[in-house]
Amino acid sequence: MAIFVNENTKVIVQGLTGGQGKYHGLRNKAYGTQIVAGVTPGKGGSDVEGIPVFDTVADAVAATGATASFIAVPPKAASAAILEAAEAGIGFIVCITEGIPAQDEARVYNTLVRNHPNTRLLGPNCPGIISPGKCNIGITAGEIAQEPTASGPNVGIVSRSGTLTYQALYELKQRGIGVSTCVGIGGDPVPGTNFIDCLKEFQADPETHAIIMIGEIGGSAEEEAAEFIKANVTKPMSAYIAGVTAPEGKKMGHAGAITSGGKGTAKGKMEALAAAGVKVGLNPTEAGDLMAEIVAGL
């Protein structure tokens, strides 16, 4: 099994005719993902290397039965694209777009919760999701992901940082450890999918035997995840929190990566996770080493 996406997931790419949408959409297709259509208003009836393009998401869904969407459009069009996909019945939306204003993210998130409770948004400003050997939606390089084995043990990955998502994948591949699913939730202040959403799924997934969580400074998501882990997660975990040396009051990389008033610090997050029984590494490689130790004992 895997979480959120698998070999049966049918994906459309909103923005397939654009530079980034075409590049990453075709890479996803080459990986084996079922990319069944593209959507670009005004370009319906054309195609991108054999992938049909439709004017609307509704038209694409009606023609292909797509259940997931990969959104690769500019910030000013992203909010409308997300809501269009939800209104067309898409159940899983991956939006890689960065630079969407936080107020727009909040409006879209609350609209989805209120009007489209069966639609899950991953992102925005995230690398996407990969269930190795089954489905890759977004900008993650498939070659750095180790496919899971039937006997396991296999590891689930959830990360706020895009770059550290890739490093976590590669740390495990270097050690020959299979990955069930790797989810990059993004580092914006209002993510559509959070740590707890992913931890719930990994805990329930029989193919996932252990979990790596990559967090960073800013906000309280990691502390909230620690409380959830303490009460609900029985699978062994390792973690890493980025931003140990970040100065207070200065935004570091992601829009949500800022500490203020003594809150949102790496130290506080690391302590909360350790108290929940998570093995916390001081750098990404150490988190990989800790997971290798965990896997060796399973």
Q: Quick check: 250 pLDDT over 80? A: no
pLDDT at position 1 is 81
The CATH T-level fold of domain 10-122 is: Rossmann fold (3.40.50)
Tell me: the pLDDT tens digits for 191-237? 999 999 999 999 999 999 999 999 998 888 999 999 999 999 999 99
Q: What is the DSSP string of 130-184?
A: EETTTEEEES--GGG-PPP-SS--EEEEEES-HHHHHHHHHHHHHTT-EEEEEEE
Give the single-character DSSP code of 6: -
Residue 252 has pLDDT above 80, yes or no: no
Q: Say yes or no to pLDDT of 68 above 80.
A: yes
Q: Where is pLDDT greater, at 86 or 246?
A: 86
Q: What is the pLDDT of residue 264?
A: 76
Structure tokens at 50: 């054999």
User: How many Cβ atoms are within 10 Å of 163's Cβ, its own excluded?
Assistant: 14
Distance in angstroms (rounded) separating the CA atoms of residues 261 and 252: 16
Cα–Cα dist 169/240, whole Å: 13
pLDDT at 47: 97
Q: Regarding the domain with residue range 141-296, which homologous superfamily does it belong to in the CATH classification? A: Succinyl-CoA synthetase domains (3.40.50.261)
The amino acid present at 280, given as its one-letter code, is V
Q: Is 116 a catalytic residue?
A: no
Mean pLDDT of the chain: 94
With the C-alpha atoms ordered 139, 140, 141, 142, is the resulting torsion angle positive or negative? Answer: negative
| Per-residue model confidence as pLDDT tens digits over 19-63 | 999 999 999 999 999 999 999 999 999 999 999 999 999 999 999
Question: Residue 287: is its pLDDT beyond 70?
Answer: yes
pLDDT of residue 82: 98
Helix, strand, coil % over all residues of the chain, rounded to 5: 35, 20, 40
Q: Is the pLDDT of residue 180 over 90?
A: yes
Whether 182 and 168 have beta carbons less than 8 Å apart is answered as yes
Whole-model pTM: value is 0.95
10-122 with 141-296: one CATH topology?
yes
Given a cut of 70, whether residue 262 has pLDDT beyond it is no
Give the domain ranges of the chain.
10-122, 141-296
Which has more confidence, 268 or 16? Answer: 16
Q: Which of 24, 116, 209, 254 is catalytic?
A: 254
